[in-house]
Amino acid sequence: MVLVAVVVLAALTVPLAGGRLGALVELRLRHGWAIFAALALQVAALDLPGLPEGLRPVLMVASYLAGAVFLVANRRVPGMAVVAAGGALNLVAILANGGVMPASPSALAAAGLPLDEPGFQNSAAVADARLAFLGDVLYIPASWPFSNVFSVGDVLIALGIAWGLHRVCGSRLTPPWTAPSP
């Protein structure tokens, strides 16, 4: 939800910075199906009833691989390299912890989230987490809107999307960009 709020905020600031949101319609992204596949895999991992618990972490990892297909196919689009770096950091943390993003218990508590919710969680407190510093160690406090935990990788993803939006839309905040010819 935090990422959605950042994308909406970035989009709202484009016209304020002299950019043109209509430029997004002209952008030709490749392998768009991969984004929808990544989202479907994450939804299945988190919400599909009757799925064996051992399959849920596998689907979560597979969602990152599907997202990587999209990012590689669109690597020349501004911001995609930063988004890919953030996704890679998240994937490394998830792989190091058996398919779950390790969350700091103190960050979960500060965000007002439960420490041990039943069932598979894509982000959870993990005993003896590996590469814990790449996990969900940052948080938005429980008293704020959109309270949640997030990682350094999530920050890079948000920055990459915001930068890409402003660059593609011709905002004064970024250098000019010309889409490559097909």
Q: Report the run of H or E that residue 56 belongs to, with start and end.
A: helix 55-73
Kindly list the domain boundaries of the chain, sorted by start residue: 2-29+80-168
Both tokens assigned to 93: 């943390």
pLDDT of residue 59: 95
Q: Which residue has the tokens 């709020």?
A: 5
CA distance 54 to 46: 12
Beta bridge partners of 148: 140
Rounded to two decimals, the pTM is 0.92
For the cut 70, the answer to whether the pLDDT of residue 15 exceeds it is: yes
Q: What angle do CA 124, 134, 5 make, to 5 degrees?
A: 75
Q: Which residue has the tokens 């103190």?
A: 106
> Is the model more confident about 26 or about 120?
26
CA distance 54 to 115: 21
Residue 121: pLDDT band (50, 70, 90) is confident
Residue 1: pLDDT band (50, 70, 90) is confident
For the cut 70, the answer to whether the pLDDT of residue 182 exceeds it is: no
pLDDT of residue 143: 95
CA distance 68 to 20: 28
- Please give the average per-residue pLDDT across 116-126, as a whole number: 84
